């Protein structure tokens, strides 16, 4: 390895090490630690023991067999009850986590943490390596800031860390035409675990045509191969899993519940806030009949423009990176996502470095937008903002109070929206240079 690569790898390892150590300390020093991993681990273990994980009583039976009895009161009386006992994970997720569920909790927990850390390290290094040809310093700065702010992923054990890593690695494999079978498998597993994280990235390859469409269809075939045994297994053990899963999702998303995007949520001022558009619009009007259609309409317009641009433009490295940057940020806005999902912003680093290397106002805006997006969705700035706003007399009664609440409590959504619009504009401007004034040739 060249000296520059060794230095970059050392800084990347240092950055991810900060998150792993801090997150692991939190995970093992409080009962709320590894909450998200507990949900999939004990859900898969419930299936292995021929129980229905989508029924809270059967899930809790398996959970309490493995946990200390003194923790029962905390689970049943605290807000973590829904997060743990109401299984909202897909059958494919439980199927893929089943090998971990065969292990005792301790080894499974440490193995999961090591796998996520290795995946994020590899994904970050690959993105830096691609972007380094444009600007090594800018790309390394962005990658290291993102990795040093991932401790919530390790504190809660959320699968987003693995899903984002696999998705980013797959993108590298497809674009570089190296280790393509591994890339197909990575993207397929990513889709099987969290399709709302990797789905729109997969859509880019489908719409781009040519070899990329072939890779997308191959990925879809592998995803189906992974999904069939999962569906057969879960259906044989829990034949009513589909309505039960839907009921659990509705329960956790109901007004005041953990995943309610509105200000009535018990987690509205939590350390890992929701970042979709509904979480902003709900502050203005806390009515799902208003904020859901409005959020889908706005993000749908952006997605339609992006899709048409992808279908009509020619494939080139510059177009591809701008398209991926736009869709990575837009992914966070369309449906339910939290800040831990925003680590998908790794896909915006090459586009930012490319625009920065070209210079001019576009380069400066790309750097400022990316820095703001990565920082505001980062765990340390998010925690500092939470400490600052927790004791403020925030109110959503008047227009000024609504605007203040959005700016102080949900700034990440606004910045992600600005990033989406900027990268979409840059994508269209470059893809159709003869149709927009001032476009580069």
Sorted by sequence, the CB contacts under 8 Å of residue 162 that are 6+ apart come out as 115, 116, 119, 193
CA dist 72 to 27, 30, 58, 251, Å?
A: 18, 14, 15, 21
Return the SS3 of 338. Answer: strand
For the chain, the C-alpha Rg in angstroms (whole number) is 21
């991810």: which residue's tokens? Answer: 16
Residue at token pair 């912003």:
345
Q: What percent of the chain has pLDDT over 90?
A: 75
The pLDDT value given to residue 66: 75
Distance of alpha carbon 375 from alpha carbon 122, whole angstroms: 21
Q: Specify the pLDDT at position 31.
A: 73
**Which pLDDT value is given to residue 81?**
64
Is 418:369 a contact under the CB 8 Å cutoff?
yes
Burial class (CB in 10 A: 0-12, 13-18, 19+), 10: exposed
Q: Which residues of 149-177 are buried (b: 16+ CB within 10 A; e: fewer)?
A: bbbbbbbbbbbbbbbbbbbbbbbbbbbee
Within 313-378, residue ranges assigned H as helices are 317-334, 349-358, 360-376
- Domain limits of the chain? 1-257, 269-441
- Tell me the DSSP string of 361-406: HHHHHHHHHHHHHHHHTSHHHHHHHHHHHTTS----SSHHHHHHHH
Hey, what are 210's tokens? Answer: 């040519």
CA atoms in the 13 A half-sphere facing the CB of 5:
9
Name the pLDDT band for 440 (thresholds 50, 70, 90).
low
Of the ranges 34-48, 133-147, 426-440, which one carries the lowest mean pLDDT score?
426-440
Cα–Cα distance for residue pair 348/102, rounded to 1 Å: 37
pTM: 0.93
Confidence of residue 392 (pLDDT cuts 50, 70, 90): confident
Q: Which pLDDT value is given to residue 72?
A: 47
pLDDT band at 69 (very low <50, low <70, confident <90, very high): very low
pLDDT digits (tens, 9 = 90+) for 9-44: 999 999 999 999 999 998 888 777 899 999 999 999
What band does 78 get if pLDDT is binned at 50, 70 and 90?
Answer: low
Answer yes or no: is pLDDT of 335 > 60.
Answer: yes
pLDDT exceeds cutoff 50 at 441:
no
Per the CB < 8 A criterion, the answer to whether 15 and 147 are in contact is: yes
Residues 6+ apart with CB under 8 A from 269: 386, 389, 390, 409
For residues 130 and 320, is the Cβ–Cβ distance under 8 A?
no
pLDDT tens string 342-365: 999 999 999 999 999 999 999 999
Q: What angle do CA 372, 373, 376 make, to 5 degrees?
A: 75
Structure tokens at 318: 């510059």
Chain-centroid distance, C-alpha 285 = 26
Express each pLDDT in 246-296 by its tens digit: 999 999 998 888 899 988 888 888 888 999 999 999 999 999 999 999 999
Q: By the 8 A CB rule, do 38 and 75 touch?
A: no
| Band (437; pLDDT cuts 50, 70, 90) | low
Give which of 366, 364, 368, 378 is closest to 412, Cα–Cα.
378
Cα–Cα distances (Å) from 106 to 32, 120, 159, 288, in that order, read 15, 22, 17, 40
Question: How many other CB atoms are found less than 10 A from the CB of residue 312?
Answer: 11
Q: Which pLDDT score, from 0 to 100, does residue 98 have?
A: 96
Which has more pLDDT, 226 or 66? 226
Average pLDDT across the chain, whole number: 91
Query: What value does the mean pLDDT take over residues 83-92?
Result: 87
What is residue 21's predicted lDDT score, i.e. its pLDDT?
95
Using the 8-state DSSP alphabet, how is residue 79 labeled? Answer: T
Which pLDDT band, with edges at 50, 70 and 90, does 47 fall under? Answer: very high
* 3-state class (DSSP) for residue 274: strand
């Amino acid at each position: 390895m060249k000296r520059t690569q060794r230095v970059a790898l050392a800084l990347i390892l240092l950055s991810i090490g900060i998150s792993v150590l801090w997150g692991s300390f939190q995970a093992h020093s409080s009962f709320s630690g590894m909450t998200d991993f507990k949900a999939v681990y004990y859900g898969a273990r419930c299936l292995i023991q021929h129980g229905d994980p989508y029924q809270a009583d059967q899930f809790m039976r398996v959970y309490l067999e493995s946990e200390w009895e003194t923790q029962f009161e905390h689970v049943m009386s605290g807000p973590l009850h829904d997060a743990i006992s109401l299984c909202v994970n897909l059958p494919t997720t439980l199927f893929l986590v089943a090998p971990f569920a065969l292990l005792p909790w301790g080894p499974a927990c440490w193995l999961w943490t090591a796998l996520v850390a290795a995946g994020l390290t590899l994904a970050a290094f690959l993105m830096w390596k691609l972007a380094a040809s444009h600007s090594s310093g800018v790309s390394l700065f962005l990658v290291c800031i993102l990795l040093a702010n991932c401790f919530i992923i390790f504190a809660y054990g959320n699968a987003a860390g693995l899903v984002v890593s696999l998705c980013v690695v797959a993108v590298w494999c497809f674009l570089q035409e190296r280790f393509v079978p591994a890339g197909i498998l990575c993207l397929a597993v990513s889709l099987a675990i969290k399709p709302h994280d990797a789905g729109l990235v997969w859509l880019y390859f489908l719409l781009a045509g040519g070899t990329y469409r072939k890779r997308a269809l191959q990925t879809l075939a592998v995803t189906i191969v992974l999904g069939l045994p999962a569906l057969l297994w879960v259906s044989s053990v829990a034949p009513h899993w589909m309505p039960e899963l839907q009921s659990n999702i509705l329960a956790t998303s109901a007004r005041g519940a953990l995943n309610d995007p509105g200000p009535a949520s018990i987690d509205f001022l939590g350390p890992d806030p929701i970042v979709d558009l509904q979480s902003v619009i709900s502050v203005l009007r806390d009515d799902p009949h208003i904020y859901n259609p409005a959020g889908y309409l706005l993000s749908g317009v952006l997605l339609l423009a992006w899709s048409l641009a992808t279908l009509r433009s020619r494939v080139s490295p510059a177009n591809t990176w701008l398209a991926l940057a736009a869709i990575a940020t837009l992914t966070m806005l369309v449906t339910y996502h939290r800040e831990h999902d925003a680590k998908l912003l790794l896909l915006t680093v090459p586009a930012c470095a490319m625009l920065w290397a070209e210079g001019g106002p576009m380069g400066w805006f790309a750097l400022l937008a990316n820095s703001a997006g990565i920082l505001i969705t980062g765990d340390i700035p998010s925690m500092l903002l939470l400490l600052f706003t927790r004791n403020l007399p925030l109110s959503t009664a008047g227009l000024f109070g609504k605007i203040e609440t959005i700016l102080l409590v949900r700034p990440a959504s606004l910045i992600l929206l600005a990033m989406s619009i900027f990268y979409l504009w840059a994508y269209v401007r470059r893809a159709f240079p003869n149709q927009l004034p001032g476009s580069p040739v």
